[in-house]
Amino acid sequence: MIRIVHALAFSLTLWLPASLHAMSLERVGNDLFATGPTVDQDFLHFKDAFAQGGIERLILVNGSGGDLWTGMQVARMVQEAKVHTVVSGHCMSACSLIFMAGQERSFGTGSLPRVTMIGIHGAHDRNTKQVNPTLMPQMFAWYKRQMGDKFDPEVINQALYGIKEAFGFLRIRELQRTHEKDRTPLFCPTGQTPFDQCQQHTGKDAFSLGVVTKAETVTLQLPDSMKVQLAFFGQPLGVPKVNLHERADTMIEGLCKGQLLCQTVAHRTFSNYLSAHHNKAMAIGWSKTGFGMRWEMDDPGRAMLGALYQCNHAKNNPKLCRLASVNEHEVLPLYDEAAAQATALLSQLQVPAPESFQAERDEPGASTPTRLRWTHQLTGMTPKALDGIPRWDTAALAQALRQTNRTVVIDAASLGPVIPGALSFINSGLAFENEKLEQPYAERFAQMLRAAAPDPDQPVVFYCNNSESWLSVNAAMRARQLGYTQVIWYRGGINAWVQAGLPTVGRVPVAVLY
């Protein structure tokens, strides 16, 4: 079974919200629309908006969370204004506090049903992502007050105190447009917990818990600035540039290179794909034949992850793959564009002076680990050193990438741009205490690493977002355990690379490991 259903947070980010850094507010008549994360300055933005008077509804569109103080301040402001609140898409963390302030509360249209939800969880430190129980009582009291006689202390206690890291949530989905089985609240203690292992609160739903005051979904017309746009790992796709029906023969010829059996299978595959409903995606083997395909998924992000995973881990044919299409868009050219751009950038790459990275080299760190870190503990200060694995700074990596015989560089993150020439391995730095999950995951990791670096003596560098992500630590340690002799860890990650003024390219993933 394809075990990617845990990746909701990731797949949602493949639909680009209007703002990535703060809440964006837009008033239409008596409706105030708000989208994005809730951060410090948003308190003043809301204050100014409500001061104008006449607001009857606050419509929260894909609210991804934010800080507790601002969330509570805005929530009290909404409560005092006695407005109704509506959610379109996801409303997570601090957004749920604001939503619960509405005199009446409901779900709205504008996003797909199964990704329209309220997400409740406990407070955590903004930087370390570690859970902070001292902040829970005020949140508990707020939910209790707003939910009234429908308040279930057991459910809310679990949502607040039961999470193991910042991405654990109680997910409460929309009612009217979803199947009955999808209305059951789902508690996942971590962001990596597969949905089939999360606790279901059977017999309860958003209405019975007092999260919404009416079960009917409100019909909304979102402002153009807040309508979700299809994107490919951060790159907006816009209007399809080609007709996939007309391009099918050319794509099949490029894939099969004259092999009759391959062409026969490919024609049947393309026919199935083209006739399938959205959301759908197709991936094809890179340097090896084979494909993966998913359709009728909740959103295009899930479809892309599923198609790539299926292609990567086909029985007896593990391989790196590239996504060929998503919905009606051909995305294979994005891989060629990224490769050409990387080649050009690396040929002109200027190596910064090593002395300029003294602070990077001297950054404090945790003690050297003796084992992989479990999936629910992947944030926090990383070690200063790893046993048997050299640690590079930005200058060392830049120098290596200038060489003709380039080092294999693997990006262990899931979002954002990558270092030119790096291979994007999504979910490649996980580790599981449960052996039933760990053993097959380790096998998939080994297969994808061998596909990327068939020679165990060639240099392989692992990196992630920054020095507080353990994904690259786990991946580097796994590679060393597999017998790779020149494993290298770039601790600073993409943050250090960008801070040095060095170029990046768009993410074009070639492997999904979980």
User: What's the CATH code of the domain at 46?
Assistant: 3.90.226.10
Whether residues 297 and 167 fall in one domain: no
The two three-digit tokens of residue 158, written as one number: 């679990």
Out of 227, 248, 266, a domain closes at 227
CA–CA separation, 195 and 200 (whole Å)? 9
With respect to residue 138, please indicate whether it lies within any of the assigned structural domains.
yes
Residue 472 belongs to domain with CATH number = 3.40.250.10
Compute φ and ψ for 90, nearest 5 degrees.
-95, 145
Whether residues 445 and 431 fall in one domain: yes
Between CA 309 and CA 313, with CA 312 as vertex, the angle to 5 degrees is 85
Beta strand pairing status for 229-232 and 15-16? antiparallel
What predicted TM-score, i.e. pTM, was given to this entire model? 0.75
Q: Which residue range is the domain that position 261 belongs to?
A: 232-330
- Positions in the chain short of pLDDT 70: 1-21, 126-129, 254, 257-258, 356
Output the 3-class SS for 171-199: EEECCCCCCHHHHCCEEECCCCCCHHHCE
Crossing angle of helices 42-51/68-81, nearest 10°? 10
CA–CA separation, 133 and 167 (whole Å)? 15
With respect to residue 4, please indicate whether it lies within any of the assigned structural domains.
no
With respect to residue 159, please indicate whether it lies within any of the assigned structural domains.
yes
The two three-digit tokens of residue 264, written as one number: 């026969």
- pLDDT value at position 275? 78
Q: Is the peptide bond before 62 cis (omega within 30 degrees of 0)?
A: no
With respect to residue 313, please indicate whether it lies within any of the assigned structural domains.
yes
CA–CA separation, 96 and 101 (whole Å)? 9
Whether residues 279 and 190 fall in one domain: no
Whether residues 153 and 276 fall in one domain: no
Whether residues 318 and 342 fall in one domain: no
CA–CA separation, 486 and 479 (whole Å)? 9
Whether residues 215 and 311 fall in one domain: no
CB-based contact 95:38 (threshold 8 Å): yes
CA–CA separation, 432 and 197 (whole Å)? 13
The two three-digit tokens of residue 349, written as one number: 């790459």
Between CA 236 and CA 7, with CA 415 as vertex, the angle to 5 degrees is 105
Whether residues 356 and 450 fall in one domain: yes
Residue with tokens 């992630």: 464
Whether residues 343 and 324 fall in one domain: no
Q: Of 53, 70, 147, give the one whose Cα is nearest residue 101.
A: 147
- pLDDT value at position 128? 60
Whether residues 309 and 356 fall in one domain: no
Whether residues 394 and 496 fall in one domain: yes
With respect to residue 3, please indicate whether it lies within any of the assigned structural domains.
no
Out of 227, 248, 276, a domain closes at 227
- pLDDT value at position 19? 36
With respect to residue 210, please indicate whether it lies within any of the assigned structural domains.
yes
What is the domain count for the chain? 3
Residue 70 burial by Cβ neighbours in a 10 Å radius (0-12, 13-18, 19+): buried
Out of 198, 227, 256, a domain closes at 227
- pLDDT value at position 334? 94
**Under DSSP, is residue 111 helix (H, G, I), strand (E, B) or coil?**
coil
The two three-digit tokens of residue 154, written as one number: 């057991």
Whether residues 55 and 204 fall in one domain: yes
Q: Which residue type sits at 237?
A: L
The two three-digit tokens of residue 404, written as one number: 């003709």
Q: Looking at the chain, how many residues does it have?
A: 514
With respect to residue 2, please indicate whether it lies within any of the assigned structural domains.
no
With respect to residue 458, please indicate whether it lies within any of the assigned structural domains.
yes
- Number of C-beta neighbours around residue 224 at 10 A: 8
Whether residues 128 and 172 fall in one domain: yes
